[in-house]
Each structure stands twice: as C-alpha cells, then as structure tokens.
Homo-oligomer: A and B are copies of this chain.
C-alpha cells in the first residue's frame, strides 16, 4: 500500500508487543507506514526508538505496566509472550496472565482491534494427512499450544461481550527461509506475514476471525477460504527451497508422531512445571 508522503497515516498510534522477537523485528519497520506513532514494547530492551516510535520495556504479566502500555493506542499487534514450548509456569505468566492483562487494558482504554499471534500449534495434533479450515477443532500439540487456545477463547469472549475485534493469526513457520522439510508446508515468508498483518488491521470489519499464516506453498494443511473477507493473498512460496530438502522414500515408521501430526516435533514435548513454587 503506497502512501502519499504528506497524507495522514490511517492509524494515530499502533502498539506492537513482542517487538524484539523474530517477527516483531520484521514488522516494526512496516508499521511506520500505517501509523503516525508506533509504540513498540518487549520484555527485553526494545532498542533505539525511531522518530515515529515510542519504546517501552514491559513484562506482560505486570498488570499495571500493561495498563499504561495500552493507553492511547488505536489498535494492537500482539506478538508478545512466549512463542515456543516452555515450562508451564512461564507460559502461565506470559501467555495467559499476559494476554488477559492486555485484553483488559485494551477494553478499559477503548481499543477496538487486536491482531493476535496465535499459532498452528493450536491444531498441531491433527494428522498431516488432513486439511484444516478455520473452523477446525482445537487440538493443541503442547502446553504452548494450549495457552494459544486460551488466547483464542479469551479473544472470542471479548468480541462477543464487548465488540472488541481480534484476528487470530495461526502462524506457521515464519523465517527468512524454510529450515527443514516440514517448513516446505508451513512456511510463511516475512513479506506475506507483513501483508497478513496489514489485511488484519485494515479490513473494515473482522469480527473474531481466524486465519492461518502461511504462504502459497505447494503442499498445504490449511485452507483459508472462510477467511476470504480479509483479502489476504500470499505472494511467496516455499517452492524455490524444495530442492534443499530432497524427498525420500516414505520409509519412516508410522509410529513416529513427529511425522504423523501437523505440529511436528512439538508433539513430542513433555510438560515441564518450571520453577517450583
């Protein structure tokens, strides 16, 4: 979306949480095109602020800090929290308490739209021989996935009860390039990721929407047909990387769960408590 240099930007102030993570760093620049002010936060120091930026170091489990963080923003891209499997107590603070804190702060400050980084791991225990649409049942593949289910349920509640809209992005594997054979299916290029966030922010009404974050890869486990109203059209594909992970004869044993389920290695993890309490 090109923008005339002097035109007012569509948003006054956007908040990006998790700005220091892999995807946050990709998105941070793009947001400059869409908002006069971009407030970026992270649990670690989010780096130097650009001219149009406000930076905040915030632990999302700190309710008071989150309340301040959200003040004055028009919409939120919520990438914050833990994005890999982790001890339950850590996930509880970052992904459950943290997400609740963010939604409550958003409600109290009148924020109308949140783009929520959910994950394909909310459905990771579906077999690799199925294709899921956006109504597929939750089948989380890890405690991490369970906490992302929580975020989807919580945001559904805030929409039904308060009209706060959320787009849940069930992000596949968003990296510079696919790193293994599984990612030939789950790859989401950075460019497509940014486009998906753009669609999620700018579509006039989204209600409570669910969409898989995936590029136009040759093989697919996910069908975004029911989210067609978002207008997301991926432009990239994993196809150029296919030769790096040459196909082999299907001799793997059927009992290897990481090969059988969409979640891949996540399905092999075991719950960890975290620090004793």
Which residues on the B side are within 8 Å of A236 (C-beta)? Answer: none
In the bound assembly, the distance between CA atoms of A115 and B143 in angstroms comes to 20
In the bound assembly, the distance between CA atoms of A248 and B8 in angstroms comes to 10
User: What string of 1s and 0s marks CB contacts (under 8 Å) between A121-140 and chain B?
Assistant: 00001011111000101111
**Contacts A149-B149, A157-B125 given: A250-B140 contact, CB under 8 Å?**
no
Contact A219 B228 (CB under 8 A): yes
**Contacts A141-B160, A141-B161, A229-B221 given: A75-B249 contact, CB under 8 Å?**
yes
Q: Which of these, B142, B150, B247, B273, contacts A1 with CB under 8 Å?
A: B247
State how many copies of this chain the complex holds.
Answer: 6
- Minimum CB–CB distance from A195 to chain B (whole Å) comes to 10
Which residues on the B side are within 8 Å of A175 (C-beta)? Answer: none
Which residues on the B side are within 8 Å of A92 (C-beta)? Answer: 92, 96-97, 100
Contact A202 B250 (CB under 8 A): yes
Q: Which of these, B10, B130, B229, contacts A129 with CB under 8 Å?
A: B229
**Of residues 156 to 212 in A, which have CB atoms within 8 Å of B's CB atoms?**
156-157, 160-161, 163, 165, 181, 185, 199, 201-207, 209
In the bound assembly, the distance between CA atoms of A156 and B125 in angstroms comes to 9
User: What string of 1s and 0s marks CB contacts (under 8 Å) between A212-252 and chain B?
Assistant: 00000111110101111111010000000011001111111
- Minimum CB–CB distance from A185 to chain B (whole Å) comes to 8
In the bound assembly, the distance between CA atoms of A254 and B252 in angstroms comes to 23
In the bound assembly, the distance between CA atoms of A277 and B150 in angstroms comes to 21
**Contacts A146-B154, A218-B233 given: A204-B243 contact, CB under 8 Å?**
no
Which residues on the B side are within 8 Å of A130 (C-beta)? Answer: 226, 229
Contact B75 A250 (CB under 8 A): yes
Residue among A113, A247, A267 with the highest chain B CB neighbour number at 10 A: A247
In the bound assembly, the distance between CA atoms of A259 and B252 in angstroms comes to 27
- In the A-B complex, list the 9 residue pairs whose CB atoms are closest, starting with the nearest: A219-B231, A202-B247, A129-B207, A149-B153, A125-B160, A220-B228, A218-B231, A131-B228, A163-B254
Q: 5 A-B residue contacts at CB 8 Å?
A: A7-B246, A127-B207, A129-B229, A146-B157, A204-B252
Q: Which residues of A contact B (CB under 8 A)?
A: 1-2, 7, 10-12, 63, 74-75, 88, 92, 96-97, 100, 104, 107, 112-113, 125, 127-131, 135, 137-143, 145-146, 149-150, 152-154, 156-157, 160-161, 163, 165, 181, 185, 199, 201-207, 209, 217-221, 223, 225-231, 233, 242-243, 246-252, 254, 259-260, 267, 271, 273, 276-277
